[in-house]
Amino acid sequence: MSSQQAVIEDISNTWGNQIEVLEDEFFAGVKVPLQILPELFRKIRDEHGFNYLANLTAVDHQDRFELVYHIYSIPDNRKLMVKADVDHDAPSAPSAVSIWPTADWQEREVFDLMGIRFEGHPNLKRILLPDEFEGHPLRKDFQMKG
């Protein structure tokens, strides 16, 4: 879609070679450094109409975490995937709650199960597990005591 290309081009032009355009056959996307996420989100929401954050999740690649965002524009029917690497030893990322309020519980779930802290989140507490649970189960080094 030509307008989909225009979005990715705009992002590449703004941040230059910090952006890696992903070769994914199902979902057009970009890989970005962590610190530009709030700016990027604000840009695509305000200038390109991406008003719906569908999915926010994280993957543990053992040497790093990878945050994955799937964002849609409902009025123009476009989609964009944004990925960002997070440091494995002190995992921390900027929160997207101020841009899309739907990130509230989704970030809490990532914190609960993966242990990534989100700076700027209004209420970063565990959501699915009891508060006194120790550990972050979806990490690859979590041992399940069956």
Partner 1 sequence: MLQTEQLTINIGPQHPSAHGGLHVEAVLDGEVVVDAIPHVGYVHRSVEKIAESRTYAQFVPYTARLDYLGTHLPVIGYVQAVEKLAGIEVPERAEYIRVIMGELSRIASHQLFIGSLAIDLGATTGLLYCMRDRERIMDMFEMTSGQRLLAAYMRIGGIAEDLPPEFLPAVRSFVRDIPKMIKEYQGLLYGNEIFQARLKGIGKLSAQDAIAYGVTGPNLRACGVSYDIRKAEPYGIYDRFDFEIPVGSNGDAWDRLMVRNEEIIQSGRIIEQALDQLPEGEIRAKVPRVFKPEKGKSVYHRIEGAKGELGYYIVSDGGEKPYRLHVRAPSFVNLMALPLVSRGGLVQDIIVNIATLDPVLGEADR
Partner 2 sequence: MAVDLNKENNDVEVLQKNNILVTTLEKIWDWGRSWSFWPLNYGCNCCPIEMLAASAARFDIARYGYEVFRASPRQADLIIVAGPVTLKMKPILERVWAQMPEPKWVLAMGNCATSGGPFKDGYSILPGCDTVVPVDVYVPGCPPRPEALFHGLLELKKKVASGQYTHRR
Question: By the criterion CB under 8 A, which residues form the site for partner 2?
Answer: 128-130, 133, 137, 142, 144-146
Looking at the Cβ atoms of 53 and 116, the one nearer to partner 1 is 53
Q: Give yes or no for residue 43 binding partner 1 (CB under 8 A).
A: no
User: Residues 103, 96: contact at Cβ < 8 Å?
Assistant: yes
Do 39 and 18 contact (CB within 8 A), yes or no?
A: no
State yes or no: residue 74 binds partner 1 (CB under 8 A): yes
b/e string for 58-80 if b means 16 or more Cβ within 10 A? bebeeeebebbbbbbbeeeebbb
Nearer to partner 1, 35 or 77 (CB): 77
Q: Give the one residue of 5, 35, 55, 92 binding partner 1; rule: CB under 8 A.
A: 55
- Cβ atoms of 33 and 48 closer than 8 Å: no
CA atoms within 13 A on the CB side of 81: 17
Site membership for partner 1, residue 59 (CB under 8 A): yes
Which residues contact residue 62 at a Cβ distance below 8 angstroms, ignoring those fewer than 6 apart?
Answer: 88, 140, 141
Contact characters 86-105, partner 1, x per CB under 8 A: --------------xxx-xx
Place of tokens 């899309």: 100
Q: Is 49 in the site for partner 1 (CB under 8 A)?
A: no
In this structure, are residues 95 and 123 in contact, taking their beta carbons and an 8 Å threshold?
A: no
Q: Which does 145 bind (CB under 5 to 8 A by kind): partner 1, partner 2, none?
A: partner 2
Which positions touch partner 1 (CB under 8 A)? 24, 26-27, 51-55, 57, 59-60, 68, 70, 74, 77, 79, 81, 100-102, 104-106, 109, 113, 126-130, 137-138, 142, 144
